[in-house]
Structure formats: C-alpha cells, structure tokens
C-alpha cells in the first residue's frame, strides 16, 4: 500500500494495529509532509523496529524518474515518472518570477480525446490513486525544499481529466491541504476541466476554495465539437450555463482556457463571439498560443494575432491574459513527453 494513499486517521489505525502508540502516526505524518522524508530510513525519530515495519508494509517512493528535461532558459523542468505497474506519467515545474507552479497528472492517458492534446491522442489507460497524485507534488516540494524554495501553485492540468477522476483528485487536494500536514492553501490549487458539466455542478455544490479553469477553445458547437469530443455530450450552451451557476453558487471567478490556433480560433470574429458568450460572467480568459504536437496539424497563433484577440476581449470588458508558453523545447505540453516515449 502506498503511504500517500492514507489519510491521517487510516495511518493512525495502521500504526496502532502494529502495537505502537498513536503519537507515532503524527511523527510519520510530520516526517512525510513537513520534513519531506521519502524513505523509512530517514525517520530516525522512530524505533528501528517501526522503521523496518514501515519499509516492509508500506510503499514510500513509487515514482521512479526515468527522464528529466530542463528548458534552455532554465525555468521549466519536466519529469517523466515510471509507476510500479510500468505505466508512465509526467509532471512539470514552471518558474515564473516568484511563483513555482506545478502541473500535475491525474490519469495515465486521457479519455477526452481532444485533438490538439498529446495526452488525448494517447487514449485512456487508468486513473491515478489519490496517493499517486499527492506523490507528484511531494516530489517537487522535496526538490524545491533542497533549494530553500517552495511550491506556490498546483495546477491539475497535466495528463488526464481531473473531473473524470473526481474522487481521487479531491481526496488528494484535501490531503495536501491538511493543516497538520503539507498545509497547502486551497486557493493555490487550480483544477482544469474539459467541460464535464455534472462534475462542475458537483464541484459548485461543494463550494470549495479551489480555483476552476475550463478549457473552452471555441464558442460554437461545430468548431468545439471537432476539437473536443466532450462537446457532443455537453454542448457550449450547457457548459456556459453550468459555469454561470458555479459563479453564482460560489462567488468565485472562473478561468477559461483558450489555446490560440492560427487561423482557427484566433480571429477577430472568434474574439467577438467569445466576448458575447461570456458577457456579464465573473471570469478571466487565459489565452495561450498552441503547444505543438505531432498528432495535430494546427499551428500556434502569432504574437500579433494574440494581442489583437486580447484587445477585442478587453474592449468588451472580458479580462484576458496572454500566457507565456513554457518548455516548448522540452515538450512540456500535457502528455507530449510520455506519448513520445511510449
């Protein structure tokens, strides 16, 4: 059993079943989430017999880095991890001024099939457990801790659709948010979804402080359905209605992701349609030139076209940021490295 799959109550139950006092569970929890220890040998505050028991009964380090790539500017690191079953996932560290943002996977592959996404082109293999999601964050937290630095943001936007693996994703967030453990603030998490309307409504009902981002990329069903098959199940009108209900229920701003594809969805007409669609909604548009993938022929927009797109949105009262593409030289887009290796 992976130790990161355990919440504190479950860990305490296991430790006391071994005949150990309950306070030993707190020592283990602190070692994992505050000291970033990754091996029973590091828990020198525990009796040797307990350390040996931990080593034989629980798995600690289940992520085996098989490939690490650093971007030429030194600001992005992508790591390919091998899991015990031989499957591979990836996670990315991006440095923006004072921010240290992680992009974390929630599945091996993805069932959504978005045509421009390398993970979508891979197909779906399996869900990650909550512990496998947590372990990715702790891997980079440990790396940054050694540099006297810290993680500032976690985006669940790597391989997979987080809302397709809803329960494990939320359990992982809750575990990382635990004030007695890693204590990572809820508002520093962002979940990105391709538009699973029932999950958005469930998420809204829970009124979490976690940020929500929706991959939109087109305003009409014909164009969006051609890029994102999920649109055939939950069309643009249903999706935007759910987003409006989310904002009304939570009072929180929603982010719309928009991959700018040259000549496809980066035109002035598309910008005007988007502004009309989002009118009156508490939101923000994150526009980013498309990350190229071998399985999709579309090209990234130009800087000039991106600025024109942004200007039209802002003139119509829709805040828009042109995001900087990171790690293009190391295939840092979702699933690009894993799909290449596969």
CA distance linking residue 196 with residue 230, whole number of Å: 8
Q: Please check whether residue 90 is in contact with residue 337, taking contact to mean a CB–CB distance below 8 angstroms.
A: yes
- DSSP state string for 237-263: HHHHHHHHHHHHHH---EEEEEEEBTT
CA distance linking residue 117 with residue 161, whole number of Å: 12
Question: What 3-state DSSP class applies to 286?
Answer: strand
Q: Please check whether residue 184 is in contact with residue 136, taking contact to mean a CB–CB distance below 8 angstroms.
A: no
pLDDT-based confidence at residue 323 (cuts at 50, 70, 90): confident
Q: Catalytic: which of 57, 90, 114, 243?
A: 90
Is 103 a catalytic site residue?
no
Q: Catalytic: which of 110, 114, 243, 334?
A: 334
Q: Of 187, 194, 230, which is closest to residue 213 (Cα–Cα)?
A: 194
Residue 44 DSSP one-character state:
T
pLDDT of residue 334: 55
Q: Residue range 134-157: average pLDDT?
A: 97
Could you tell me the CA-to-CA distances from 37 to 20, 34, 138 in Å, in that order? Answer: 20, 8, 9
What tens digit of pLDDT does each residue of 114-130 get? 988 888 889 999 999 99
Q: Please check whether residue 128 is in contact with residue 91, taking contact to mean a CB–CB distance below 8 angstroms.
A: no
pLDDT of residue 338: 54
Tokens of 152: 């500032």
Q: Which residues pair with 93 in a beta bridge?
A: 77, 102
Whole-number average pLDDT of the chain: 94
Residue scoring higher pLDDT (318 or 71): 318
Instruction: Output phi, psi for 291, to 5 deg.
Output: -80, 125
pLDDT-based confidence at residue 173 (cuts at 50, 70, 90): very high
pLDDT of residue 72: 87
pLDDT of residue 293: 80
| Residue 279 buriedness (CB in 10 A; 0-12 / 13-18 / 19+) | exposed
Tokens 């001024």 correspond to: 97
CA distance linking residue 183 with residue 33, whole number of Å: 8
CA distance linking residue 60 with residue 156, whole number of Å: 22
Tokens of 224: 């969006």
Residue ranges and CATH numbers for the domains of the chain are: 3-57 (1.10.150.530), 64-341 (3.20.20.70)
Is 180 a catalytic site residue?
no
* Neighbouring residues of 311: CB distance < 8 A, sequence distance ≥ 6: none
């Amino acid at each position: 059993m992976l130790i990161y799959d355990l919440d504190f109550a479950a860990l305490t139950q296991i430790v006391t079943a071994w005949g150990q006092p309950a306070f030993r569970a707190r020592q283990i929890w602190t070692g994992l989430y505050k000291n970033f220890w990754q091996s029973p040998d590091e828990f020198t505050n525990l009796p040797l017999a307990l350390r040996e028991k931990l080593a034989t009964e629980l798995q600690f380090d289940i992520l085996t880095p098989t490939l690490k790539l650093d971007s030429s500017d030194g600001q992005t690191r992508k790591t390919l991890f091998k899991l015990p079953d031989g499957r591979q996932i990836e996670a990315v560290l991006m440095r923006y001024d004072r921010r240290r943002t992680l992009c974390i996977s929630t599945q091996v592959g993805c069932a959504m099939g978005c045509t421009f996404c390398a993970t979508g082109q891979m197909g779906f293999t399996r869900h990650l457990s909550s512990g496998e999601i947590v372990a990715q964050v702790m891997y980079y937290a440990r790396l940054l801790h050694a540099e006297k630095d810290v993680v500032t943001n976690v985006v669940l936007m790597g391989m997979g659709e987080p809302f397709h693996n809803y329960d494990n994703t939320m359990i992982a967030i809750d575990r990382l948010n635990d004030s007695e453990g890693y204590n990572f603030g809820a508002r520093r998490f962002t979940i990105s979804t391709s538009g699973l309307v029932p999950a958005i409504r469930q998420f809204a009902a829970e009124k979490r402080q976690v940020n929500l981002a929706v991959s939109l990329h087109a305003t009409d069903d014909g164009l969006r359905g051609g890029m994102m098959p999920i649109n055939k199940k939950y069309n643009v009108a249903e999706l935007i209605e759910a987003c409006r209900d989310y904002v009304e229920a939570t009072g929180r701003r929603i982010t719309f992701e928009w991959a700018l594809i040259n000549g496809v969805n980066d035109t002035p007409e598309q910008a005007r349609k988007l502004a009309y669609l989002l009118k009156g909604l508490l939101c923000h548009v994150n526009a980013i030139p498309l990350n190229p993938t071998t399985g999709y022929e579309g090209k990234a927009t130009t800087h000039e076209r991106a600025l024109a797109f942004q200007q039209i949105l802002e003139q119509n009262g829709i805040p828009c940021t042109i995001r900087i593409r990171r790690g293009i030289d190391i295939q840092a887009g979702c699933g690009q490295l894993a799909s290449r290796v596969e």
